[in-house]
Amino acid sequence: DGGITQSPKYLFRKEGQNVTLSCEQNLNHDAMYWYRQDPGQGLRLIYYSQIVNDFQKGDIAEGYSVSREKKESFPLTVTSAQKNPTAFYLCASMGLSQETQYFGPGTRLLVL
């Protein structure tokens, strides 16, 4: 099955700890995106990558980092600098046609 996967489904972070959220796609899409969603809110763009080995900051990149070493993978690291990391994180990918974004099932990050 083609699609986009995220892991883990739930992630717990201790104060001062960095944690990494995984996002993998087998859709052969060039573009990948990370969004943050707070309760009752829309999606806010954290980082995006339109091609391997290149990525750009979105609207709320502070306290986050990404890498794009492979076309299929776009991991997001929530660093200790992100003081309010509790949220629902969504990864998405899109092909060149810009017609449809495919979303993963999300990772819910909680702080211990």
Partner 1 sequence: SQQGEEDPQALSIQEGENATMNCSYKTSINNLQWYRQNSGRGLVHLILIRSNEREKHSGRLRVTLDTSKKSSSLLITASRAADTASYFCNAPSGGSYIPTFGRGTSLIVHP
The residues that touch partner 1, with contacts defined as CB under 8 A, are 6, 33, 35, 40-43, 45, 48, 50, 58-59, 88, 90, 92, 94, 98-106, 108
Shortest Cβ distance from residue 42 to partner 1 (Å)? 4
Distance linking the first and last C-alpha atoms of the chain: 35
Residue 28's Cα: distance from chain center in Å? Answer: 17
Nearer to partner 1, 20 or 100 (CB): 100
Q: How far is the CB of 103 from partner 1 (least distance, A)?
A: 3
Residue 46: Cβ-neighbour burial (10 angstroms; 0-12, 13-18, 19+): buried
Q: Least Å distance between CB 44 and partner 1?
A: 8
Secondary structure letter of residue 27 according to DSSP:
S
